[in-house]
Amino acid sequence: MVLTRSFVRAKRPCTDGFRWFVRQFNDGGHYQELLDRMVAAGRVGDACWLLEQFGPTDEVREVDAIDAEAIVFSGTLRVRGGIDVEGIVRVGRALHAGGGLRVGGDLIVGEDLRTEGKVRVTGRIDIGGDLRAGWGVECAGELRCAGDLRAGWALRCDGRLHLGGNAFVGLELDAGSELRCAKSLQVGGDIVAAEGLRAEQGITAGGSIRADLHLEAGWGIKAGGLIAAGGAIRVGEGLHAGEGIAAGAGYGVFAGLGVHMEAWEASARVSAPHKPAGLMSGWWAGPAAC
């Protein structure tokens, strides 16, 4: 796609950026070439603005590895090895890497992100499709994934963690702020949320589940260890914990909120080594059901 001077002007660019465009390309140039030249000249913000205005393309670029200051690519980027970038990585469609991915700024991918190694990002992560990492994921900012998320190892996010699909994490999941999952959440180890935790479907953890505020699930919650919250615990179906269930001081434990009371014995069972204090609803099944 060729972007002409009049085409770019119609998007109302800043004066400095448009002057640079005219000096470099006169009447216009190829879309991706413009992005590459802007990034090479240190005008990464202008390149991101251009991508926002004109959107993704079907262009595909395949390379062995990437070691760069920044990346702004309009299409799909396939890297056979690893990716090491000091600043921002912004890809219009998909990003695939055969190795690890280290980003010193924000990581923004319009569609799927797939990497065979570890994902480590100093800024925020925003994925428009699925996120699949063969190893772990570390994010110093907010992490938003519109589709399914799958991490072979641990997932650590220092900011908000918003998941638009199902999530599977092989080891621990640690969220430094609120954790929201639009479907089911399955974790091999512990789940920790520094604020509230809510899954629209179920939550399963091989270890303990802890939320500093309210803990909620549209279906049920099952943990090999402790289920604990600083606020209320609310589930649509049952609760099962290997070590105990504890809501915050002055808060209750509510099971079976999505189940008719006559079906509680079958579909809203609460089981733990000891009956939780403040159990307000659900069928107490005792420790034998764990």
Instruction: Report the C-alpha gap between 179 and 198 in whole angstroms.
Output: 6
Instruction: Report the C-alpha gap between 219 and 126 in whole angstroms.
Output: 27
SS3 per-residue string spanning the chain: CEEEHHHHHCCCCCHHHHHHHHHHHCCEEEHHHHHHHHHHCCCHHHHHHHHHHHCCCCCEEEECCEEECCEEECCEEEECCCEEECCCEEECCCEEECCCEEECCCEEECCCEEECCCEEECCCEEECCCEEECCCEEECCCEEECCCEEECCCEEECCCEEECCCEEECCCEEECCCEEECCCEEECCCEEECCCEEECCCEEECCCEEECCCEEECCCEEECCEEEECCCEEECCCEEECCEEECCCCCCEECCCCCCHHHHHHHCEEECCCCCCCEEECEECCHHHC
Per-residue pLDDT for the chain (290 aa), expressed as one digit of tens each? 555 545 454 455 555 655 556 555 655 567 788 899 889 988 898 889 889 888 899 999 999 999 999 999 999 999 999 999 999 999 999 999 999 999 999 999 999 999 999 999 999 999 999 999 999 999 999 999 999 999 999 999 999 999 999 999 999 999 999 999 999 999 999 999 999 999 999 999 999 999 999 999 999 999 999 999 999 999 999 999 999 999 999 999 999 999 999 999 999 999 999 999 999 999 999 986 54
Strand pairing report for 101-103 and 83-85 = parallel
